[in-house]
Structure formats: C-alpha cells, structure tokens
C-alpha cells in the first residue's frame, strides 16, 4: 500500500486567535525575594506574595524535597513550568491554592 500524499491545500490553518489559558490560577511569573518569599503573578493579572519562611524552617521538611530550598541559592532558582511554581529538584507548589489565598489576602503563608 502506497502512502497517500498530503496536499498543502489540505493542511489546517494556524489557530486564530491564539489559545490562552482560561483558568486564572495558572502562574505566569515567579521571582524569589529575600527571606524565602516569592513574588508571583497569575495569567489574569493577580499578583501577590508567597511566604515559605515558616514552612522551610520547620523540622517537618527535613528529608523532603523542600529541604534543599533552605539554601538561598537553590531557592532563587525558582521557575514557572506549565503554569506552576517549580524548582529543579522537583519541588513545586499548588497553583490553585496559591491563587485562592493571594486573591483573598494578597499573600499565601505556607505553614
């Protein structure tokens, strides 16, 4: 059986308008700021702070993926991956919980 050639006229056109995220809790940007805090912005323009100081200094994080974030140099390597805050070692934060707290209080204090 011979493959059927695909004509250029049968190719789908580019999607217009550009597809955008419809859920507001997708993180668009995250920046590490002093004292184990993050400045985050969501796709709907909501902006606020995530405070991880208590969480990271608690002994409950010993031996977890979050323990490495106690090193300020590692913490500063935060990035946004597919709408979520993440670090290279696999630690990540729930964007929906973060969004809800920031929308309600301007910050999310992780305990």
pLDDT in tens, 5-23: 655 555 555 656 665 667 8
pLDDT score, position 21: 60
CA pair distance 18, 27, nearest whole angstrom:
18
Taking the model in full, what pTM does it have? 0.80
Q: Which residues pair with 39 in a beta bridge?
A: 31, 49
Using CA atoms, how far apart are residues 102 and 106, in angstroms rounded to an integer?
4
Element (H, E) at 30: strand 27-33
Task: Give pLDDT tens digits for 100-109.
Answer: 999 999 999 9
Mean model confidence pLDDT for the chain: 89
Which pLDDT value is given to residue 31?
98
Q: How many CA atoms lie within 13 A of 48 on its CB side?
A: 19
Residue 2: strand, helix, or coil: coil
CATH architecture of 21-109: 2-Layer Sandwich (3.30)
> Cis omega (within 30 of 0) on the bond before 17?
yes
- Reported as a pLDDT band with limits 50, 70 and 90, residue 2 is low
């Amino acid at each position: 059986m011979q493959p059927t050639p695909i004509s250029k006229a049968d190719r789908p056109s580019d999607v217009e308008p550009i597809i955008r995220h419809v859920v507001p809790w997708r993180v668009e940007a995250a920046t590490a700021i002093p004292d184990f805090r993050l400045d985050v912005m969501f796709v709907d323009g909501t902006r606020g702070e995530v405070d991880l100081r208590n969480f990271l200094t608690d002994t409950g994080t010993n031996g977890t993926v979050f323990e490495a974030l106690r090193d300020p140099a590692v913490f500063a390597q935060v990035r946004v991956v597919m709408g979520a805050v993440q670090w290279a070692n696999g630690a990540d934060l729930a964007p929906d919980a973060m969004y809800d707290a920031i929308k309600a209080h301007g910050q999310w204090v992780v305990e």
